[in-house]
């Protein structure tokens, strides 16, 4: 059972969220996604979440709070266009519900189509994204995988409360889900440092993989089990790392001499993340300055057999770095 709320208040909050997402231009190529966001109630997927308290810790808001003012705060936050921390352990964020407008953009960039379009989601989270996919494509076409059995159990419970029953699998997302393959799309809701090879083998030729990598979103087209390639989207993206590890902060001990202006520049930080372990940060700075502060869309990733590398402008060009 999900939290009990006034259906009129929930509908009003949901409509306001849809209007806010629509204003961002998220549905320009797939207006059917709008219906998914209209009809899938987000509050059922975040029966509680954490906000930063005035003392710097985490305050829990939940839908069964006996205080009506705090329940109203919870409902308002559930339909805010903002990420929500749903699992915190020892002060570390383990799982979250992503910002809805970013989810909408990612789903549009996934380039879904009617008919037989089978999707694998890596990182079940609250189950909300799987519900949106199930509404858009039909639940029989959706599989979501997570390593943590507590996360998959709560996602399954939320999905059931909302009336959706896609396949929810507990397992290592880097191994994909071979028993449900092949897939036409793979969407990843946790940050990668490299592309797991089993995903390519479980995709149909021409499949699309959309994944957070180095504070960006890489969109790969799969040629076959040994080859995939694609460019970054312009959209910045910050997700919990795959397997729930700590966020990588490359070269932090060596960044003291770099100009503060560069370190504060979001695109330079993206380049540092992308080249971590492969390129000295001062070389990265020289490249960034020489190439006119290149935007994300100029970068890409190639997977070919045992090799995997990131590149600027051309996968066979002079600027290429092996991924971690």
Asked whether the CA dihedral 306, 312, 314, 318 is positive or negative, the reply is: negative
pTM of the model: 0.91
Q: What is the pLDDT of residues 183-220, one digit of tens each?
A: 999 999 999 999 999 999 999 999 999 999 999 999 99
Q: Is 44 exposed, middle or buried (0-12, 13-18, 19+ CB in 10 A)?
A: buried
Query: Can you tell me the distance from the alpha carbon of 302 to that of 237, in angstroms, rounded to the nearest whole number?
Result: 20
Matching residue, tokens 């000295």: 280
Angle, CA 134 vertex, CA 145 and CA 153 arms, to 5°: 40
Q: Which of 150, 154, 153, 119 is nearest to 136 (CA)?
A: 119
3-class secondary structure for 217-243?
Answer: EEEEEEEECCEEEEEECCCCCCCCEHH
Q: pLDDT by residue (tens digit) across 116-154? A: 899 999 999 999 999 999 999 999 999 999 999 999 999
CA distances from 148 to 87, 90, 122, 154 (A): 11, 17, 12, 10
Where would I find the H helices in the chain? 7-23, 32-39, 68-78, 100-109, 128-137, 149-162, 197-201, 260-263, 266-274, 281-290
Mean pLDDT, the chain, integer: 90
Alpha carbon distances (Å) from 65 to 48, 71, 248: 10, 6, 36
Report the side by side order of strands in the sheet with 320-322.
167-170, 142-146, 119-122, 183-188, 203-213, 216-224, 227-232, 299-304, 307-312, 320-322
In the predicted structure, residue 319 carries a pLDDT above the cut 50? yes
DSSP 284-299: HHHHHHHTTS--GGGE
* Domain 7-232, CATH class in plain words: alpha beta
Q: What is the pLDDT of residue 25?
A: 81
Residues with a known catalytic role: 95
User: How many CB atoms sit inside 10 A of residue 84's CB?
Assistant: 23
Give the model's pLDDT for residue 306: 93
d(CA 175, CA 197): 8
Phi/psi of residue 23, nearest 5 degrees: -65, -25
43-93 per-position pLDDT tens digit: 999 999 998 877 777 889 999 999 999 999 999 999 999 999 888 777 667
Contacts of residue 127, Cβ cutoff 8 Å, sequence gap at least 6: 45, 144, 154, 155, 156, 158, 159, 162, 164, 168
Q: Is the pLDDT of residue 223 over 60?
A: yes
Q: What is the pLDDT of residue 116?
A: 82
CA nearest to 41, candidates 70, 3, 68: 3
pLDDT for res 210: 98
Q: How many CB atoms lie under 10 A from the CB of residue 290?
A: 10
pLDDT, tens digit, 9 for 90 and up, residues 236-270 = 998 888 764 434 444 454 666 788 888 889 999 99
Which pLDDT score, from 0 to 100, does residue 1 have?
54
Per-domain residue ranges of the chain: 7-232, 252-322
CA contacts within 13 A on the Cβ side of 182 = 14
**What pLDDT score was predicted for residue 253?**
46
CA proximity to 105, closest of 208, 229, 190, 21: 21
180 contacts 120 by C-beta, under 8 angstroms: yes
Q: How far apart are CA 184 and CA 311, in angstroms?
A: 25
């Amino acid at each position: 059972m999900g939290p009990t709320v006034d259906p009129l208040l929930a509908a009003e909050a949901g409509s306001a969220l849809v209007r806010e997402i629509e204003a961002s231009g998220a549905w320009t190529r797939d207006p059917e996604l709008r219906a998914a966001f209209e009809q899938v109630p987000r509050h059922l997927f975040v029966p509680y979440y954490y906000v930063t308290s005035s003392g710097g810790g985490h305050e829990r808001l939940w839908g069964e709070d006996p205080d009506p003012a705090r329940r109203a705060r919870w409902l308002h936050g559930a339909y805010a266009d903002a990420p929500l921390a749903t699992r915190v352990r020892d002060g570390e964020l383990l799982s979250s519900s992503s910002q809805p407008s970013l989810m909408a953009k990612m789903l549009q960039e996934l380039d879904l189509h009617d008919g037989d379009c089978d999707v694998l989601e890596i990182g079940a989270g609250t189950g909300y994204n799987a519900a949106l996919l199930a509404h858009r494509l039909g639940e029989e076409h959706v599989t979501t995988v997570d390593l943590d059995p507590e996360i998959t159990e709560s996602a399954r419970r939320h999905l059931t409360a909302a009336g959706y029953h896609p396949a929810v699998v507990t397992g290592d997302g880097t191994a994909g889900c071979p028993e449900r393959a092949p897939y036409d799309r793979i969407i990843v809701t946790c940050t990668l440092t490299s592309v797991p090879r089993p995903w390519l083998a479980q995709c149909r030729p021409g499949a699309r993989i959309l994944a957070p990598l180095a504070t960006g979103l890489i969109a790969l087209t799969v040629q076959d089990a040994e080859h995939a390639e694609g460019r970054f989207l312009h959209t910045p993206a910050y997700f919990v790392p795959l397997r729930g590890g700590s966020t990588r902060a490359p070269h932090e001990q060596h960044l003291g001499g770099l100009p503060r202006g560069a370190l504060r520049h979001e695109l330079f930080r993206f380049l540092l993340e992308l080249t971590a372990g492969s390129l000295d940060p001062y070389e990265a700075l020289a490249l960034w300055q020489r190439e006119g502060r290149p935007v994300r869309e100029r970068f890409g990733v190639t997977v070919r057999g045992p090799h995997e590398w990131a590149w600027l402008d051309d996968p066979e060009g002079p600027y290429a770095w092996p991924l971690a």
